[in-house]
Amino acid sequence: MTRPQAGRKNTLTLQVGADNRPESVPASGDLKSRTEAAAAVAAANAARVDRDARFPEEAITAVRAQRLLGIMVPRELGGDGAGLSDVVDVCYGLGRACSSTAMIYAMHQIMVACVLRHRGNNAWHERLLRRLCAEQLLLASSTTEGKGGGNVRSSEAPIERSGSRISLERRATVISYGADADAIVTTARRAADAAASDQVLAVFLKEDYSLEPLVAWDTLGMRGTCSAGFTLRAGGDSDQILPDAYELIHVQTMTPVAHLTWASVWAGVAAGAVERAQFFIRNAARQASGQLPPGAAHYTRATSSLLTLRGVVAALLRRFEQASHDQAALASLDFQTMVNLTKVEASELAVSTVMSALRACGLSGYRNDGEFSVGRYLRDVLSSPIMINNDRILANAAAASLMSAVPGSLIG
């Protein structure tokens, strides 16, 4: 495993609550208003994005206009110096408006977090972060390929080296919004003679690569993420590889940030469905002189499970912040198990919340052509147990949990 360079800060700035917010972090009201402005555009175009399975161009243009893509980058590099708590709030706000826009934003921020934490003193990646903020570059990721499918800790394609130059050709089964990104952050085997698990993470700008379509994207939900498969052919400078081994990046940053941002998106989608159900129940009660419709009980279940879902995400965020400066804590079995099981719990809660919202609305929620329709929310949120499949996570966690003691007390 590659060790952090001496004297280098290998941490993400994480803040929760205005009381601990450094001066470099934008005021919460400013970020909230910027998110709301982008979300309004996303909501106005969400139905068409879903119907046509197209990239949410209008929404991402609005995200760029509000300068939301570089909020975690420090001010000295052109960003806002915001914390991960700010990012998950933006994911939640966008998720209420357009699931695909929110998921694209989340996946972009996962890559930003990886570059921020693991760039070391690499001048190339510092220039990338400056460009990201100045030009509001959109980063995509490529972590699945070939027969390995969803096993992101195994790479088939190796980095090839010629002097200081590198090249890569990989059959990526999924590159979400790859055709519309400004850069792709990809895993690869360190070298042709390296083990499949000996991986690096490299960044290639749009001018560095070509994409040849492999697999189309025609799905039940999350249609606007445009997560097609491509053969990625890329070339660049060796400095474009992050200094830390992917083994370290995966544990410290990629997995926890992914599960936090994804869960925040799913919570936002669930909140959007609950809002539809609330609208329906209020409208029905108004028309019945205050008499609640039969679906009111399901609305109560929806609000309860949404509350639990938000608490699950908040608990993991707090735990991540506590561990963020401690590499041993981040790599611990207990923390990694919590991260992965939180993903499972959040995805299952999101699905059940939207299902309860649908049942609260009854036939009006089941229809696709009415103001109370919950169909798009349900189709989108059904992707959540499949993204890094819950069955894979639970099977891996079962083996790991055999090594952990069963808690002997309720608290602590």
Is 8 among the domain residues? no
Is 3 among the domain residues? no
Q: Centre a 10 Å sphere on the Cβ of residue 395 and count the other Cβ atoms it contains.
A: 10
Q: What is the pLDDT of residue 149?
A: 59
Are 84 and 317 spatial neighbours (Cβ–Cβ below 8 Å)? yes
Query: Can you tell me the distance from the alpha carbon of 263 to that of 338, in angstroms, rounded to the nearest whole number?
Result: 13
Query: Can you tell me the distance from the alpha carbon of 28 to that of 46, in angstroms, rounded to the nearest whole number?
Result: 26
349/274 same-domain check: yes
Q: Centre a 10 Å sphere on the Cβ of residue 375 and count the other Cβ atoms it contains.
A: 18
Are 200 and 241 spatial neighbours (Cβ–Cβ below 8 Å)? yes
Q: What is the pLDDT of residue 406?
A: 84
80/148 same-domain check: no
263/372 same-domain check: yes
132/268 same-domain check: no
List 234's β-bridge partners, or say none: 168, 209
Tens of each residue's pLDDT in the chain, 412 residues: 333 333 333 334 433 333 333 344 466 569 999 999 999 999 999 999 999 999 999 999 999 999 999 999 999 999 999 999 999 999 999 999 999 999 999 999 999 999 999 999 999 999 999 999 999 999 999 999 876 557 899 999 999 999 999 999 999 999 999 999 999 999 999 999 999 999 999 999 999 999 999 999 999 999 999 999 999 999 999 999 999 999 999 999 999 999 999 999 999 999 999 999 999 999 999 999 999 999 999 999 999 999 999 999 999 999 999 999 999 999 999 999 999 999 999 999 999 999 999 999 999 999 999 999 999 999 999 999 999 999 999 988 888 778 778 888 988 6
Q: Centre a 10 Å sphere on the Cβ of residue 18 and count the other Cβ atoms it contains.
A: 10
Query: Can you tell me the distance from the alpha carbon of 140 to that of 134, in angstroms, rounded to the nearest whole number?
Result: 18
Q: Centre a 10 Å sphere on the Cβ of residue 105 and count the other Cβ atoms it contains.
A: 30
Q: Centre a 10 Å sphere on the Cβ of residue 335 and count the other Cβ atoms it contains.
A: 20
396/251 same-domain check: yes
DSSP code per residue over 150-195: T-TT---SBPEEETTEEEEEEEESB-TTGGG-SEEEEEEESSTTS-
165/300 same-domain check: no
Distance of CA 333 to the CA centre of its chain: 22
Of 97, 63, 79, whose CA–CA distance to 24 is shortest?
79
228/317 same-domain check: no
Q: What is the pLDDT of residue 27?
A: 64
Q: Centre a 10 Å sphere on the Cβ of residue 220 and count the other Cβ atoms it contains.
A: 11
168/310 same-domain check: no
Is 407 among the domain residues? no
Is 13 among the domain residues? no
131/146 same-domain check: no
Are 95 and 266 spatial neighbours (Cβ–Cβ below 8 Å)? yes
146/25 same-domain check: no
365/297 same-domain check: yes
Long-range contacts at 54-60 (CB < 8 A, ≥ 24 apart) = 54/224, 54/226, 55/177, 55/179, 55/180, 55/224, 55/226, 56/98, 56/100, 56/101, 56/104, 56/224, 57/180, 59/94, 59/97, 59/98, 59/101, 60/101, 60/104, 60/138, 60/180
**Up-side HSE of residue 361: CA atoms within 13 Å toward CB?**
28
Is 310 among the domain residues? yes
The last residue of a domain, from among 180, 206, 240:
240
The last residue of a domain, from among 108, 137, 166:
137
Q: Domain holding 277: CATH number?
A: 1.20.140.10
pLDDT digits (tens, 9 = 90+) for 198-245: 999 999 999 999 999 999 999 999 999 999 999 999 999 999 999 999
Q: What is the pLDDT of residue 12?
A: 47
Q: Domain holding 96: CATH number?
A: 1.10.540.10
The last residue of a domain, from among 102, 137, 172:
137
Is 364 among the domain residues? yes
Are 98 and 42 spatial neighbours (Cβ–Cβ below 8 Å)? yes
Query: Can you tell me the distance from the alpha carbon of 345 to that of 299, in angstroms, rounded to the nearest whole number?
Result: 20
Using only the alpha carbons of the chain, give its radius of gyration: 21
51/187 same-domain check: no
Is 330 among the domain residues? yes
Is 5 among the domain residues? no
Give me the domain span that covers residue 265: 246-401
* pTM recorded for the entire structure: 0.92
State the alpha helices, DSSP H only, in 199-332. Answer: 246-249, 255-287, 296-323, 327-331
Number of domains in the chain: 3
Of 127, 136, 55, whose CA–CA distance to 98 is shortest?
55
Q: What is the pLDDT of residue 3?
A: 32
Q: What angle do CA 311, 335, 308 make, to 5 degrees?
A: 15
Q: Which amino acid is at 58?
A: E
Q: Domain holding 180: CATH number?
A: 2.40.110.10
